[in-house]
Amino acid sequence: MNDIILIKVGEIILKGLNRRRFEQKLLGNIRWRLSRIGKFRVYILQSAIYVEGDADADMDAAFEELQKVFGIVAISRAAACEKDKDAIAALAKSYLREDMLRAKSFKVESKRSDKAFPMTSVELSQYVGGELSEAFPDCAVDVHEPELVVHIEIRDLAAYVHAAPVPGAGGMPVGSNGVAVSLLSGGIDSPVSTWMIARRGVRPIPVHFFSFPYTSQQAKEKVVELAELLTPWCGRMRMEVVPFTHIQEEIRDKCPEEYFTLIMRRFMMRIAERIALDNGAKAIVTGENLGQVASQTMEAMASTQAVLSLPVLQPLIGMDKSEIVAMARRIGTFDTSILPYEDCCTVFTPRHPRTHPTVAEVEEAEAALDVQALVDEAIRGLERVPVGYDSEA
């Protein structure tokens, strides 16, 4: 019995002339993910991806790993046989024996991609369904609400039998839509926004602003852990850690208090853009959520983004906090995000922040600073932290 993993892709099939580029990116991501598990053959035919392992391959581990690969909408453990109705029926009875014994009802759904196969999909479903009903008389046929659906696919190379597919991560292959710098703090929002932009095919470069000794080493390690938690979804990343202490002290000493947060955010944007341009990134990603805090009003965001030439992507902009928390729980970052370590955004927080500033007002408030020198100093002090399965390398 040839046990394989059968993968269905999502939006890639709509890509027209660009489709092959997206397919190749997804195949490359799958091969990289599976390389740490064992030896696998990965190939694509008729808009489906096939994963075959060698004799020692851990198919269970591969199946679990593939559920976190963006670009995949459904995954099935399947078995293959020759394209013959009796061989297919025999395979269904043996491969799905345990499923049939557990279920109280079933139906068969067939898909005939190979139109040379002599039976229609309906005829094949009826034939295999009759064979299964005879072999498992305690499992009734129910074509409307079956407990078990037996799937049969007739494709170019073989016939495949599998039970219900497991949902994949969806989205598009990481790297297929370019590179972006993603601001990563220790809070709940920014890991979720990084995950969401990666799901749209963007390879993120996480950037963290570190203000030692106002923020502790444990706070920095927390953010590194958050980045590590994202790597099963996003792949390997290199986190850029920005020394931010001197900038915040200069803002505290020379700028009006009500503008502290806005000016700090403008510096973050400037530095993030420098990092982006140095790494070929085409956008800045933030975890901002409209109206959530004082610096996330329309006017405040306009004043902080005014220093940029690159676009700002805000995946969370219209979400409720409860939705963001639910997403953080789903992707596994929530428990780390709520650890009680401060980040730079809580340093020198103004008592009465300006919520509806004009750009001119903020520019006047930061006029006492040598902006370019401070940005250059921060860039010179960057610390690069590799995160991912082979981060030790």
Let me know if 75 is exposed, middle or buried by CB neighbors in 10 A (0-12, 13-18, 19+): buried
Domain locations along the chain: 2-167, 179-387
H or E stretch covering 360: helix 359-365
Task: Identify the pLDDT of residue 46.
Answer: 76
H or E stretch covering 203: strand 203-210
Q: Please count the helices (runs of H) and the strands (runs of E) in the chain.
A: 14, 15
Q: How far apart are CA 72 and CA 5, in angstroms?
A: 12
Closest CA to 347 of 268, 273, 244: 244
Q: How far apart are CA 292 and CA 318, in angstroms?
A: 10
Closest CA to 9 of 20, 90, 216: 20
3-state SS class at 45: strand
- Look-up: residue for tokens 């901002």? 288
Distances (CA, A) of 266 to 211, 295, 307, 315: 16, 11, 7, 19
Q: How far apart are CA 197 and CA 201, in angstroms?
A: 7
Closest CA to 179 of 202, 208, 200, 199: 202
DSSP code of residue 333: -
B/e letters for 158-172, b = 16+ CB within 10 Å, e = fewer, are bbbbbbebeebbebb
3-state SS class at 329: helix
Tell me the average pLDDT of the chain. 92
Q: How far apart are CA 284 and CA 181, in angstroms?
A: 5
pLDDT tens digits for range 152-168: 999 888 999 999 899 99
pTM of the model: 0.88
Alpha carbons within 13 A on the beta-carbon side of 131 = 19
Q: Please check whether residue 151 is in contact with residue 103, taking contact to mean a CB–CB distance below 8 angstroms.
A: no
- pLDDT tens per residue across all 393 residues of the chain: 468 999 999 888 777 778 889 999 999 999 999 988 889 999 998 788 999 998 888 999 999 999 999 999 999 999 999 999 999 999 999 999 999 999 999 999 999 988 999 999 999 999 999 999 999 999 999 999 999 999 999 988 899 999 989 999 999 999 999 999 999 999 999 999 999 999 999 999 999 999 998 888 999 999 999 999 999 999 999 999 999 999 999 999 999 999 999 999 999 999 999 999 999 999 999 999 988 887 789 999 999 999 999 999 999 999 999 999 999 999 999 999 999 877 766 667 778 888 899 999 999 999 999 999 999 999 999 999 999 855 443
Which fold, 2-167? VC0802-like (3.30.2130)
Closest CA to 93 of 50, 144, 58, 127: 127
- Look-up: residue for tokens 């530095």? 271
Q: What is the CATH number of domain 179-387?
A: 3.40.50.620
pLDDT tens digits for range 23-62: 999 999 999 999 888 899 999 987 889 999 988 889 999 9
What is the token pair recorded at 135?
A: 């072999």
